[in-house]
Amino acid sequence: MIESAKRIFVSNRLPFGIDKNGKMTRGSGGLVSALLGVSLDKPFTWMGFETNPKTAEILRTRSSEINPHLQCLPVAISKDLYDEYYDGVSNDLIWPLFHYESQFAKFDRKRWDSYRQANQLMADKIVETAKDGDTVWVHDFHFLLVPEMVKQKNPYIAIGFFLHIPFPSIEIFRELPVREEILRSLAHCDLLGFHEYSYLRHFTDCIKAFLGVDSTLSRAQIGEHTLQLGVYPISVDTEALRERACTSKVLELAESYRQQSSPFQILGIDRLDYTKGLELKLFGFQAALRKYPELVGQISLMQVAVPTREKVPIYMKIKKQLDQLVGQINGEFGRPNYVPVQYIYRSINEETLLALYKRADVALITSKRDGMNLVAMEYVIAQDVKTAGVLLLSEFAGAASLLADAISINPWDADMIADSIYAAYKMPQQEKKARMANMQEKLLRYSATSWARNFLTDLDDAIARYLKASRPIPVASEAKQWPPQLKDKLARHKLRLVLDYDGTLVAIQNRPEQAILSDEMRFLLNELQEYMEIYVVSGRNKDFLDSQFNGMSVTLAAEHGAYFKLIGRKWRSRISTNVSSWYPEVQRVMKSYSDRVPFSFVEKKEAALVWHFRESPENFGIHQAKRLDDELKTGLANQPVQVMMGHKIVEAKAVECNKGSFLRWLIQTNPMENYFYICFGDDKTDEDMFQALGENGCTIKIGTELTKAQYRLDNQAQVFPLLMELLKYVKGVTYAERDAHA
């Protein structure tokens, strides 16, 4: 990570609150422990929304009391806007849809505008706070639009994003009216993380279907930007939780619960939410008592349902259903001295929770969908291996991918739950101990802090090359800010300026013939050639370059350096292979693709053919380009030809058509001359030049994708001002030398 770069965490709410006495209290969630655990020794900022100005002021001014490195930065938001963004979209649209409960998802365009407005509010504050090279870690579905909003204003802020809920399958995600907007934003991240591989796979399916972007399970190349992808199953604060589970108070409570309960107790701890499958749990427990009569009187279910969104009708409907089911089961199987289901509808404190974990013979988790489910992990850590219980875990919870020693269940299969409960009841203690010991060992090695550290390490790695290898170079009137070693090279050496054409000297156009050199750029190049040699190295053909640089003192290299024309001379060839051995077949294949893809066409050159699909339907064009690329590479494997995909093109060219090869040849033509090269380019083909030049010059990438260049410009519009500044600088150096000689 860049030295002195700071970390900024972004979550819906800040990690601290204010109690009724005005004191700061630390949040109890695993995210708080995880992030504070990795950042207590370095300056960092935590941003979150706050609707109360008084609370915001306390958090902002007193956060350093918790830790001198910490700055809490509340982002002010009105209560009405917060409710629309949080309840109206986050909870009523994204939460149910991403958990496969689309029947509960409500989309309203006005509410989505509020969600967008809240995301913009947070993004603007991030841009105001962060500097180039700072790392911003955005958390969860509340801020799906933030990455793009930040990158649009400052592409040099590194963005990591972690989704704490499932990412749904493509058939579910496609129901979302704003699906492309969400995907385009997430595509701007430097690192995007998920709990589980299936979530990552679903995401890559969606960007392929809706953005036309191919990817692996580790990265996606989206235009000029590389999105790194990863799986990071979150954990709990294992050591601290284990210590708290072993306090005398918890042990005493656990023992009292043991004496008062049935011989074999099953525990359920869930928020009362439709995603948790509480009714499925009760159906499964009921099935166990019916299928295995010997369990009646021997086992009981303690279900704690933590209230949430109590005024929302669907949640009240769920509560009513659960009340009826509990009554039905207790009425069917209850005895004067036996209550099959103990149902608690309220929050419980941590000591009580840990004591229930320690007492329970089984933890039963029947989530329909769950990003991870930390209850499963908390139960494992709180258990005493000597008297170990059994974890029955829904295969639809992310934790199932981490806790392989749990008994996996399908929550919709009541018979399977019944059989699993019976298997746990009959399981030998030795097997219970082995299963629990394995899970504990895994979690003790992989804590919440490890999870956060792993993500941040990968985020640092993902951006290191981008931020270190290619730094923004000041433009306009800022030559005084150029690195001293660069200015020294410019002052002491003969200069050669090497320029790509499309995307460098001119902006990319939909049709190649529209990319015409401007009068301003022509005048500037004529001025520059008084102080340095200028080389234009382009993929264009000879005739086009002649038309654009007619009468100018510029050396031209056409078709990526296969042909060159020195000032005042005729064109010469560097081709030594047999172009005719592959050219007709490529032309035939490319023509067939131009016939099937609307608005695509073939550009003919002497040693290359280019299939353009800039104006074609985007997704269809990209798909066909991939097919064409594969077909040509397979068919021409033994021919002296290179096939590559570029920006909305597929090109087949002779092996001599290589800008790096041309630049090496140019350097070798005058080995004794002490030239310093200044090389500009925007495309993959220019990376060959950057690599060939190495330390012999200054390489400048136009655009934001990963590059071998030393410096970069954000876009083509910055090329002209930088060349103007270069002209002023070399003029100044020349005048100073003249004065010294005089």
Distance CA 33, CA 235 (A): 10
Q: Pairing mode, if any, of strands 264-271 and 44-50?
A: unpaired
User: Out of 140, 370, 500, 682, which one is annotated catalytic?
Assistant: 500
Asked if residue 39 has pLDDT above 80, the reply is no
Q: In angstroms, rounded to a whole number, what is the distance separating the alpha carbons of residues 624 and 618?
A: 10
| C-alpha to C-alpha distance for 248 and 111, rounded to whole angstroms | 50
Instruction: Report the amino acid identity of residue 573.
Output: S
Of 221-235, 293-307, 652-666, 726-740, give the lowest mean pLDDT range.
726-740
Which residue in 568, 1, 91, 29 sits closest to 309, CA to CA? 91
DSSP reduced 3-state for 122: helix
How would you classify the pairing of strands 563-565 and 572-573? antiparallel
pLDDT digits (tens, 9 = 90+) for 78-118: 999 999 999 999 999 999 999 999 999 999 999 999 999 99
Query: What single DSSP character describes residue 641?
Result: E
User: Which pLDDT does position 290 carry in this prediction?
Assistant: 97
Question: Which residue ranges make up each domain of the chain?
Answer: 7-231, 238-446, 471-573+656-741, 579-654
pLDDT per residue as tens digits for the range 222-256? 866 889 999 999 988 899 899 999 999 999 999 99
Within 8 A by CB and 6+ apart from 720, the residues are 520, 521, 524
pLDDT at 75: 96
**Active site (annotated) includes residue 500:** yes
What residue ranges in 516-600 does DSSP mark as E strands?
533-537, 555-558, 563-565, 572-573
| CA–CA gap between residue 125 and residue 715 (Å, rounded) | 24
What is the arithmetic mean of pLDDT over 531-538?
95
Q: What is the pLDDT of residue 669?
A: 83
Q: Rounded to the nearest 5°, which phi and psi values hold at 496?
A: -125, 125
Alpha helices in 261-302, H assignment, sequence order: 278-291
Structure confidence by residue, pLDDT tens digits, 556-611? 999 999 999 999 899 999 988 898 999 999 999 999 999 988 889 999 888 889 99
Query: Residue 344: in which H helix or E strand, if any?
Result: strand 341-344
Residue 721 in tokens: 């001002």
Residue 1 has pLDDT above 60, yes or no: no
| Cβ–Cβ < 8 Å for 656, 575 | yes
Which band of pLDDT confidence, cut at 50, 70 and 90, is reported for residue 42?
Answer: confident
Nearest residue to 458 (alpha-carbon basis) of 219, 241, 146, 683? 219
pLDDT for the residue 477? 43
**127 has pLDDT over 60:** yes
Distance, in Å, from the CA atom of 94 to the CA atom of 564, rounded to the nearest integer, reads 57
pLDDT at 519: 94
The Cα–Cα gap between 603 and 609 comes to: 6
More confidently predicted of 367 and 212: 367
Mean pLDDT of the chain: 89
CB 166 within 8 A of CB 98: yes
Q: What 3 state SS string does 345-378 have?
A: CCCCCHHHHHHHHHHCCEEEECCCCECCCHHHHH
Q: Does pLDDT of 517 surpass 80?
A: yes
pLDDT of 156 > 90? The answer is no
Average pLDDT for residues 499-525, to the nearest whole number? Answer: 90
User: What is the structure's pLDDT at 2?
Assistant: 36
Residue 299 has pLDDT above 70, yes or no: yes
- Output 48 or 32, whichever has higher pLDDT: 48
- CATH topology (fold) of 471-573+656-741: Rossmann fold (3.40.50)
Lowest mean pLDDT among 74-83, 289-298, 712-721: 712-721
Positive or negative: CA dihedral 660, 665, 671, 674: negative
Percent of the chain's residues with pLDDT above 70: 94
Element (H, E) at 653: strand 649-654
- Expressed in percent and rounded to 5, the helix, strand and coil fractions of the chain are 50, 20, 30
**What's the confidence (pLDDT) of residue 182?**
97
Mean pLDDT of all residues in 259-282: 94
Buried b (16+ CB within 10 A) or exposed e, 302-312: bbbbeeeeeee
Architecture of domain 579-654: 2-Layer Sandwich (3.30)
Question: Residue 367's closest CA among 83, 642, 101?
Answer: 101
- Coil, strand, or helix at residue 162? strand
Rounded Cα distance between 671 and 392, Å, is 73
Given a contact cutoff of 8 angstroms between Cβ atoms, the answer to whether 12 and 95 are in contact is no
Q: Considering only the C-alpha atoms of the chain, give the largest distance between any 2 of them, rounded to a whole number of Å.
A: 114
Tell whether the model's pLDDT for residue 50 goes beyond 90: yes
Q: State the pLDDT at residue 55.
A: 87
pLDDT exceeds cutoff 80 at 193: yes
| pLDDT tens, position by position, 318-336 | 999 999 999 999 999 999 9
Q: Do the domains 238-446 and 579-654 sit in the same CATH topology, yes or no?
A: no
pLDDT given at position 621: 84
- The secondary structure element, H or E, covering residue 222 is strand 219-222
* C-alpha span between 196 and 230 (Å, rounded): 9
Q: Is the pLDDT of residue 739 over 70?
A: no
> Please, are residues 649 and 683 in contact by the beta-carbon 8 Å criterion?
no
567 contacts: CB under 8 Å, gap ≥ 6: 553, 554, 555
The answer to whether residue 4 scores a pLDDT higher than 70 is no
Model confidence pLDDT, tens digit, residues 671-686: 767 889 999 999 888 9
| Structural contact between residues 189 and 179, judged by C-beta atoms closer than 8 angstroms | no
Query: Within 13 Å, how many C-alpha atoms sit on residue 162's CB side?
Result: 26
For residue range 699-717, list pLDDT tens digits in order.
Answer: 999 986 767 888 888 889 9
pLDDT > 90 in the chain, percent = 61
Q: Find the mean pLDDT for residues 304-319.
A: 90
CA 713 to chain centre: 23
pLDDT value at residue 614: 84
For residue 479, what pLDDT is reported?
A: 60
Compute the distance between CA of residue 584 and CA of residue 609 in angstroms, rounded to an integer: 10
Q: Is 31 exposed, middle or buried (0-12, 13-18, 19+ CB in 10 A)?
A: buried
Residue 212, pLDDT score: 81
User: Burial, 27: exposed, middle or buried (Cβ in 10 Å; 0-12, 13-18, 19+)?
Assistant: middle
Residue 410 pLDDT class (50, 70, 90 cuts): very high
**Highest CATH level, class, for 7-231:** alpha beta
Query: Is the four-CA dihedral 255, 257, 260, 266 of positive or negative sign?
Result: negative
Which amino acid, 708? K
Query: In CATH, what is the architecture of 238-446?
Result: 3-Layer(aba) Sandwich (3.40)
Given the structure tokens 């299936």, which residue do they identify? 198
